[in-house]
Structure 1
């Protein structure tokens, strides 16, 4: 696992590919890493069941849509993280930004900002948009046996999509935009997850 300084240099050498499209709404999320002596974990949320929300009940990162009062997409990610799970990212080390992701079926562009801490945050304070949070080790995320094509449901339609079966006692698989962001992050971290074609990844909402 790369150190925080090595990761920051990696982001500096290879800046994120940003997408500009005024026809699409913008959103921003935070990928939060906890690095201990022997392993590194990544924080996920399970979104609450909400009627009309296309991501209702899905797994993802804390974050949300950019609002006019936000100074930047990064500010959106930090504001939304504080609102949704009570974590102030000002106390974390900022590493850099992943490539923007454009939704294939939802007109939205998602920016992802990566943070790291060596101190496990206290129990999060969840708002009404989040059902729970949990940590997953990078070892599990990089395990080839957890990657594959899984059945998912999107807008009342059953689909078969690339996804990761996380080590959870219950809950959906990780797929869609967050899956694409996780693959991008794992590549940055030096992990070699299974390769997916660009056509496969463009199918994700």
Structure 2
């Protein structure tokens, strides 16, 4: 059976904006932690909204080396705020200008479980039908879009063992790429899960791969 066509892109953006703005995002003011801002970017796909992810380039001094992420980075003193920082970092990392995008709102801050950082996330919808050729800089090795429906497909939401900081961590994760490629975990996983919860399409229950 074929899938039903999604509603119009403006209607989808309106629903996302309404879902993100029933209350102000929760900001965790913790001066001892570094503060970063990222952009969760949506585009219109054939079967509904798709989220943009990047794969960070390998670098020995980067704690997120090789991880899947949203474009973004630390907030500079010259930035006018969280939104300005997220947009600047997106321009620098993938040459995407969000000044013409639809700003939909922000998610609650996420605090790192093992690193002294808090991350704010701004959500954008790209104009429908606009062809965008992204040009990643040296910090990004790969980028791709993932449909929301595929994020919630059975078997993608797993408990995984991640090699991090010289040891193995068991953590929830999402399988977005073929076998052998990085999983989505950590702060970006938590932001993705929060966004899906807010729009009323939460992730399915975890699949424990070690149970078989």
With normalisation by structure 1, the TM-score equals 0.90
- State which of 107, 120, 130 in structure 1 corresponds to 2:116: 107
- Structure-1 separation of matches of 2:78 and 2:205: 39
Contact 2:106 2:122 (8 Å CA) reproduced: yes
Question: Matched residue of 1:53: which SS?
Answer: coil
Which of 27, 37, 43 is the aligned partner of 1:28? 37
Task: Give structure 1 regions of 4+ aligned residues with deviation exceeding 4 angstroms.
Answer: none
**What's 2:137 paired with?**
127
The 10-residue stretch of structure 1 (115-124 or 128-137) with the greater mean CA deviation from structure 2: 115-124
Q: What is the Cα deviation at residue 7 of structure 1? A: 1.9
Are 2:20 and 2:199, in contact at CA under 8 Å, matched by a contact in 1? no
C-alpha distance in 1 between matches for 2:129 and 2:36 = 27
Q: CA deviation at 1:113?
A: 0.5
| Deviation at residue 14 of structure 1 after TM alignment | 2.6
Alignment length (residue pairs)? 196
Aligned pair 1:67/2:76, yes or no? yes
Match of 2:22 among 9, 13, 16: 13
Unaligned ranges ≥5, structure 1: 197-205
Out of 150-159 and 120-129, give the one that drifted further.
120-129
In the other structure, the counterpart of 1:158 is 168
Cα distance in structure 1, aligned partners of 2:131 and 2:79: 25
Q: State how far apart, in whole Å, the 2-side matches of 1:60 and 1:121 are.
A: 22
1:195 is displaced (CA, Å) by 5.5
CA distance in 1, matches of 2:189, 2:103: 21
In the alignment, is the contact (CA less than 8 A) between 1:87 and 1:121 conserved in 2? no
Gaps of 5+ in 2: 1-5, 207-212
Give the secondary-structure state (helix, strand or coil) at the position aligned to 2:114.
Answer: coil
The whole-number CA distance in structure 2 between the counterparts of 1:152 and 1:46 is 16
Matched, 1:94 2:103: yes
Deviation at 1:31, TM superposition (A): 0.4
Aligned to 1:184: 194
Judged with a 3 Å threshold, the aligned counterparts in structure 2 of structure 1 residues 131 and 37 are, in CA distance, closer, same or farther, namely closer
The structure whose Rg is larger is 2
Distance 1:121 1:184 in 2: 28
